[in-house]
Structure 1
Amino acid sequence: MSLISVLRTGVSGMNAQSNRISTVAENVQNSSTTGYKRNSAEFSSLLLDNNTDNAYNSGAVETTIRRAISERGSINSTTSKTDLAIQGNGFFIVQDENKASLLTRAGNFVVDGQTGNLVNSGGFTLMGFDVLNGEASPTVNGTDGMVPVNMAGLSMRATPSTTGTIAGNLSADTADLTGTLSPTNFSKKTSIVTFDKLGNSVTLDVYLGKVPASTVAPVVPENTWSASVYAPDGTALTSPALTLAFDANGKIPSTAAAGARASFTIPGGEAFTLDMSGATQLAGSYDIKGSANGKAPSSVTGTEFSADGTVYATYADGTRLAAFKVPLADVKSPDNLDPRAGNVFRTNIESGDIQIGFSGSGSFGTLKSSALEASNVDVSSELTTMIESQTVYTANSKVFMTGNELLETLMNLKR
C-alpha cells in the first residue's frame, strides 16, 4: 500500500466535501430567490487500475455538480400583474444586454424606466411576439421573430369608427313629408357620434322623412321612410337616400334590409357602415336610439397577462389591446442546462435544442399572472447535508492525519 495514496485520498475526500458545502452555501443563500434551482454534489469513486491482491492503492472521489432544474418550486401569489409564474413545464425566454437568448423561471418582471421593456430582477428582458398586426408565427426550434415586450409605444391609441346602428320606433302617426328630403325639409332628425382616425369625434346628422304612398312610377309602397346622412359640414354621405320599407307588422323584412344599410367614409376616418334595418314603425311615440364603435384617444393605464401568454395593454377608457404574446421554451433534458449568473440557463449538447410553444399547448405548462415560483430549496435538508458534510470532512482529515503519522513512522525507521 502506498502511504502517499492515502494522503491523496484524504485530500480528495476533503475536496469533495468542500464542493458539497459550497453547494449547500449557495442553496441556503438563494433559498428566497425567485425561480432558483438548487445544486447538489454527487460523488463517484475513482479506482486505480494497478491494484493487486497483495498491494492496494486507494483512489479518489469524483464530484459532479447537479442542478435540480426540472424540480418545481411552490407558486406564491403577489400583487403585481407583471409577476409571472409557469405552472408546469417550460421557461421564459429572456435576452441579456448582448442580445443573447437565455432561459429562466424567474418571472419577477417590472417595467424598465429607461427602455420600457419588461425586465426581471436579474436585468434580463422578457421576449415575445408582436401581435398588433396579426397572430404570432413562432419558429418551433428558434427565437426568430421575437422582440422585447415593451408597452411604451402604446401610450395613446385612437380607434376609428367602422360600424354603427340606428334603431327604435318611427311613429306610424307621423305626417307624410311634402317635397324632397333634405336638411331643411324632414320629418325627424337624429344624430350619431363617430370617431375619425385621429380620435376626433365626428357627429353625423341623420334626417328622416315619411314618404307618401304612390302607385305611379317609381312605385312607393305604404309605410316607407327615407333616411339621409350628412357630415358636419353639410355634405351628403348617402346618395341615394336609404329606403326603410316596413311591412304590415311595422318591421323591415329581410328582403328589404339591404336598402336600410349604407356604406360611406367618415370625414378623416375609415369606411363606415350604418345599419338601420332594426328600426320599426309602430303606433306610439317616436323613439330612436343609435350607437357606433370607435374610441377617443386614451392612455395606457396598465398591463394584463392572459393564461395563454397574451399581453394586453389596458386603457383609461376600459378597453384592452392585445399587443404581445409571450411564448414558452423547453428542452429534452432541463437538468443538463448550463447555469449562468442571474438565475438563467443556456442550452448545450446534453440539454438538447430549444423548443418553442405557447402556454397550455402540448407539453407546456400554463402562465399565471400575479404569481411567482419560489426557490425549490428545502433549508432543513440543506442544514442536514451541511452537518453530514462537516462530519465526513472531519473523518477525511483524520485519514490524512493518520496517513501522515504512518509516513513519519516509516521515515523514523532510518534513524
Structure 2
Amino acid sequence: MTEKLTLTGLSTRPAQTWGGVRLVPLVRDEPIEDLRLDARLHDDPGLDEDPRGHYDGPGLDVVEIGRRDHYISYIPHAFVATWTSDGTPAAAYGTQLRDAAKDGPAPRRMPLRFHRRMARREDRNRLRFMPQHLAMEGYLALHFGGPEIAWKEWSHRAISRGLSPRVEEAYTGTQVRGLADALRVFEIHPGQCGVVVYAADALAAAFVVPHPADYRALHATLVHDLYGELIHHYATLTMPVPDFRARIADAEVRSLADLRAAARHQTEEWAAFHDRFMAAGLLGPEYTYQRVYTMGRYRLSRFLPPFERRRENHIGELITDENGRLAYLKTFRLSENQVRRGHLLTELAACDWNLAATAAALGVTEPELGLRIEGAGFGHLLRQDVLDRYRAHARRSGRTR
C-alpha cells in the first residue's frame, strides 16, 4: 500500500529557533484519550527481559527479529503503548528512573541487552516497541535476502547470506549541535502533542504522540534519537537560522477583535507556509507502508520512501486509528548515500537482480553499474573476477577518453 503522510488532527504553531535548530510545535484540538505512550528506560534493571541480567550502564541492544536475524544498536529506551478497547481514557504506563545515589557510579564495561522482536505485546492492552528503530530495521531489511536467482555475477556469499550483515551509521541527538539546548529552553505550547525538528532549515525529524501529557514526558527523549549525517553536518557548520516574525499593519487594527483576527491570520499563514513548503519533503511523497501490529482500533505501521535521488527521503513509523487520524509518528531523514543504496537495491530487486537489465533501466553500462554497487558498499556481493573485470574496463575507458 502506498499513500502520502498526513498530519490529520494536528495544527502547526509558530516556530522557535535556537542557533541553527528550529522547532515547529504541533498541537491537537482534541487529545487522544484511549491511547497513551510512555518511555521504558533500558537502564532500569527491573525492565530487562533477561531475568538473569543486571544493569551495567549504557550499552548495545540486540533485538531478535527472526530465527537467524538480529538488529544491533544503541537503543536508550522503548515506548510502551497502552490502549483501551471501549474508548475510555487510558493511563500512561509509568517510567522508572535509575537512582544513581543508590545504585552507585556507572560501571566500566558495556553490557548487551537482549530483546525479543521490535514490537512485542506484553498484556492484553499494552505493546512495547522500539521507537525509530522499528523504522530503521525496515530500511535495513530492504531486499535483505539478496539475489533470488543465482546469476553468474553474484558471489556465493550473496546467494547464501544476502546482505547480511547490513550496517548504517547515524548520530544521536547529543551530537547534533544546539538540539539539547533547544529542547531545554523552548516553550511547550498548551495542547502540544508533537514537533517538527529542523537543522539549518533542513527537516530532520517529526515526532507526534497521542496526548499533551505524553509529549511533556517524552519531549526530552528527542535528544536520544538518531539523526542522519546531513543533519549533523548542517547543525555543526551552519549559522543561526532567521526567526519568522509576524507583522501586523497597525492601520488595519481598530479594536481588540481586529487584533485577534490579524494575529490568527498570521498564525494560519505561517501554518500554511510550513506545511506546503518547509515540510513538503516529508508530506509530499508517496510512501510504502507495512503493517506491524494491530492494537484494537489502532494500527502500528512503518513506511519507506520512493528513494528518489537528490530529494528528501524519510523513513518512519506511525500509529493511526480506523479513520486515519495520526496518533503517533517518528521519522528519520536518510542521507544521500543511504538514499542511493536504497534506490540501487530497489532497482536491482525490480529487475530480479539481473545486472544487464538493471543497467539498462538505470541508463548506464553494466561495468558502471558494478562499480556503483561497489561504491554503495555492496562490492562483496559480486564475484571478485567480475569486479576486477569491471575495474579494468573503467581504467581502459578512462584512457580512451
What TM-score does the superposition give when structure 1 sets the normalisation length?
0.19
Identify the structure with the greater strand proportion.
Answer: 1
What TM-score does the superposition give when structure 2 sets the normalisation length?
0.20
Structure having greater relative contact order (Cα 8 Å, sep ≥ 6): 1
> Greater Rg, structure 1 or structure 2?
1
Identify the structure with the greater helix proportion.
Answer: 2
